[in-house]
Structure 1
Amino acid sequence: MTQVHKRHVLYIPGFDPVPPRAYRERYRREAALQADISGYRIENGTAPKGARFGWHVDAQIEGAEVSTDLEVLYWADIVRKGMSAGVAGTYWQLLRTAWIYISSGALFRLMRLRKGPVIAALYPVAVLLGQALLAGGLWFAVFLGFMYVSEEVLALIEGRAWLLQSDFGARAWFAILVLGPITAWLFLRWCARRDHLLAWYLMKDYAFSAQAWGAYPAEQEDRMRAFTDRIAEVLQSDVDEVLVVGHSSGAYIAVSVLADLIRAGRVPEDGPELSLLTLGHVVPMVSFLPKATRLRADLAFMAAQDVAWVDVTAPGDGCSFALCDPVAVSGVAPVGKTGPLVLSAAYTQTLSAARQKALKWQLFELHFQYLNAFDNLPDRSDAYDYFRVTAGPLTLGARFANRAPSASRIETPVNKFTDP
């Protein structure tokens, strides 16, 4: 089957605490922009039956009418729980996560792939350590200031007699053990809550992925089983294609969920076309860890299946392992490997100069650009366009059937841990 009249899209987000409606609003906003640019029509409707978090679109693209249900597979509650660590907990996560990546050698092998995502991983470490140094400086400043505070001020503090027993020693100890720590903690707490640099968020992201040395946490496994059940249910519906989309860390979740689904024999032979689209993946951040045996086995399994799998990244996205074949670089490419088809979103070619300039320092928006409108797309049906893929008249496999993989893709296996 290549022609699509009805499609169901199931989107798996990355480590993102935002509610599903944020993805719905992004889709609606960007679909309208892309429709204006590309000359097609997309109209939004209500949520599909059985979907907790979803919406519907009717589109007229490439001369065909297509009806699409879109749904977000929800795990933001787990993300929010993973982000709940306070100041001390986050610094403990920093130390533990750094130890996991350094002691396992994963950090140094990741650097052989792409510098961008490794720099992105080191960035929150540098910011948090810098903020800790500033907190230490405030601590010391409070100590110096309190040493010169007047006796009149000291008299207002309860326990004046104790404070003045030793004019230097009592003040020093009070400043060092009480006022200094409180000031430093309040500063770090302010940094964590404001997090204008997004360093605290990123630190929690990497800590969550590495917490079990690459194995999936139990709570995540439970949710993935729920995802598998939902996809199996949709595969029994009257649609032409079931398209699973995994973005960022949602990419490796999608791989494992579909591997479970296929192994369990839950894909009907006469059912809808099952397709997999992974966007801006960070697979090596997990697959290069020693206990990621489950993920490595799933990557090898999916790479040999008769399922259209297209992987899209962009060198301009510093938060993804751009053009790195997630199976090959993980060292688990099977004999007869069929996927994924590695493509570049090529921001320098598909975005106008003005749009590139506007996005230059918006690293997170660049990481989400795969879900956004492109204002300089080439006039080809196989150019990557999220809205043609999700609401157009061709299956994922048919749309990219004649597209060659990116010539700049990286397939060198550099992972030390290759046991499935």
Structure 2
Amino acid sequence: MSSPDTGAAGSAGAVRKRRVFYIPGYDPIHPRRYRELYRRQGTRQAAISGYDITLRPRAKAANYGWHVTGRFDGAEVKTEVEVLVWSDIVKSSMGHGIAMSYLRMAYTALVYIGSGALWRLARLQKGPVIAALYPVVMLLGQALLAGLAVWGGVKLGLVLRPWLGLFGPLLGGAAGAALAWAMLEQFRRWDGKLFVYYLMHDYAFNARALGAMPPELEQRIASFTESIAAACDDPVDEILVVGHSSGAHLGVSVLADLIRSGRVRADGPALGFLSLGQVVPMVTFLPRAWRLRADLAYLCERDEIFWADVTAPGDGCAFALCDPVAVSGLGGPGQKWPLVFSAAFTQTLSPARWKALRWRFFRLHFQYLCAFDRPGDYDYFRITAGPKTLAERYRARRSSKSAITRPVNRFTSTAP
């Protein structure tokens, strides 16, 4: 008899070959980062959980990726991981100076407050709203300090006026302005630790068109859809799409387009969608997010897919345990997906590990892709490299009793 994580070759839900398509969130970093993260954390999880994972480079292809060999209780699984890259679009959207960044901050705040989205989002989870307000508060604080530098320079110039005349205040004001600009520039250079500009540009990216899909991202979604559609003809047992953070709502649109195209064969590989740390309401609660709302309404009723949505209350950047379809006002009698449950960081991380990570909010937002020292039924590496399909692994799972399904969204139209 096979172990619970094995399954006989050829049996329903058993995997020997898999294709994984990973869609990152709003991240300007090269996809090599995700390979190294997978390698380090996969090795750690394997040592904790008693299986084996090895990585090797993927032959040069259109998209960056790597090969994984997983060995679980005698079962060997070959997985090809491919990163669907949109970091170039992210970099382009972040390439603005300090002054323009402040203008974008003001516009983004106006969009979320003026549309009423901010208050409705706060009724779901306070954490992501606090995360959204964080860059606003920090940027205003930085501006205040810069303003104090200018004021101090002018005051110094007034002190020097008896000796320098009118030149004193002018010189002091110019020195204060130079210091203020240097301070603002230094704050921006520290953003690798503060994440102020990063988060502000993330929210501004969705707000700039009131939730509508930007044309450059629409083109990239079409490219992603084509990559996955081509894999549907491969001799593999499962195609698994993983969307993390903002990548989750991109995955929704990609998979909706894929199924609409008719290229998901009934006799083809099992199709799974794993959304992690999703922030879908940040977009669907905006007035012109017609495309995403239509895709959610469509995808949640499809039989071609198994969709599991994993979040955690310990992740302050995600809408933990919020059914992205239902809270967006798109759930109906035909809704099948997603299965909503928690990675339960406070239980799956040891007390010492949780204490070390608890206040590292950005790191916790990536914990879904990392090892757990007290793993539960969520294990990223078993899911992506193990011998069961996503559907088989969670076949008997039910959505968490604490899942939030009440519709809160003001904007529910799926077309202009």
Q: Normalising by the residue count of structure 2, what TM-score does the alignment of the two structures yield? A: 0.94
Indicate the residue corresponding to 2:406 in structure 1.
412
The residue that corresponds to 2:5 in the other structure is: none
* Map 1:219-234 → 2, pairs under 5 A: 219-234=216-231
Q: Helix, strand or coil: the match of 2:139?
A: helix
1:282-333 Cα deviation digits (max 9, x unpaired): 0000000000010000001010011100000000000000000000000011
Quote how far apart the aligned CAs of 1:3 are. 0.8
Could you tell me which residue of structure 1 aligns to residue 126 of structure 2? 115
Paired amino acid for 1:402: A
Task: Find out whether 1:185 has 2:181 as its counterpart.
Answer: yes
Please name the residue that 2:300 is paired with.
303
Identity %: 56
Residue 113 of structure 2 is aligned to residue 102 of structure 1: yes
Return the letter of the residue paired with 1:332: L
Structure 1, 103-112 or 269-278: larger mean CA deviation: 269-278
Q: Give 3-state SS (helix, strand or coil) of 1:145's partner.
A: helix
Q: Hey, what does 2:263 align to over in structure 1?
A: 266
- CA RMSD after TM alignment: 1.4
Partner of 1:397: 391
> What amino acid is aligned across from residue 100 of structure 1 in structure 2?
V
What is the Cα deviation at residue 82 of structure 1?
A: 1.0
* Cα distance between partner residues in 2 of 1:81 and 1:181: 29
Unaligned runs of 5+ in 2: 1-11
TM-score by length of 1: 0.93
Cα-to-partner distance string for 1:90-136 (whole Å, 9 max, x where unaligned): 10011000000011000000010000000010011001001100000
Write the distance in 2 (CA, Å) between the matches of 1:347 and 1:335: 32
By how many angstroms is 1:48 displaced? 5.3
| Contact 1:48 1:56 (C-alpha < 8 Å) held by counterparts | no
Aligned to 2:234: 237
Contact persistence 1:116–1:318 (CA under 8 A): yes
1:334 matches 2:332? yes
Count residues in correspondence: 401
Structure (1 or 2) with the larger CA radius of gyration: 1
Indicate conservation of the 8 Å contact 1:350/1:377, yes or no: yes
* Alignment partner of 1:138 is 2:149: yes
- Which string of whole-angstrom CA distances, capped at 9 and with x for unpartnered residues, describes residues 20-78 of structure 1? 00000000000000000000011111215645310001111143110000011001111
The letter of the residue matching 1:360 is R
Q: Which amino acid aligns with 1:65?
A: E
Separation (CA, whole Å) in 1 of partners of 2:176 and 2:266: 67
Is the Cα contact below 8 Å between 2:31 and 2:64 reproduced in 1? yes
What SS is found at the alignment partner of 1:201? helix
Give the distance between the partners of 1:51 and 1:222, measured in 2 at CA.
Answer: 16
Partner of 1:254: 251
Query: Quick one: distance in 1 between partners of 2:213 and 2:182?
Result: 34
For residues 330 and 385 of structure 2, the distance between their equivalents in structure 1, rounded to whole angstroms, comes to 33
1:111 alignment partner, SS class: helix
Quote the Cα distance in structure 2 between the aligned partners of 1:285 and 1:395.
30
Give yes or no for contact 1:65–1:393 (8 Å, CA) kept in 2.
Answer: yes
1:398–1:187 Cα change, 3 Å: same
In the other structure, the counterpart of 1:155 is none
Q: Structure 1 CA distance, aligned partners of 2:62 and 2:359?
A: 36
Task: Name the residue aligned to 1:10.
Answer: 21
In structure 2, the CA distance between the partners of 1:62 and 1:304, relative to structure 1 (3 Å rule), is: farther
1:277 matched to which residue of 2?
A: 274
- Structure 2 counterpart of 1:350, one-letter code: T
CA distance in 2, matches of 1:270, 1:374: 35
Residue ranges of structure 1 left out of the alignment (5+ in a row): 153-163
Q: Tell me the equivalent position of 2:323.
A: 325
* 1:180-203 deviations in Å (ceiling 9; x for gaps): 333222211111111232111111
Contact 2:156-2:169 within 8 A present in 1 as well? no
Deviations 1:231-287 (A, max 9, x none): 111111111101000000000000001101111112223221111000000000000
- What is the CA–CA distance in structure 1 between the aligned matches of 2:279 and 2:172, rounded to whole Å? 45
Rounded to whole Å, the distance in 1 between the matches of 2:340 and 2:297 is 15
Q: Aligned residue for 2:89?
A: 78
CA positional deviation for 1:215: 0.6
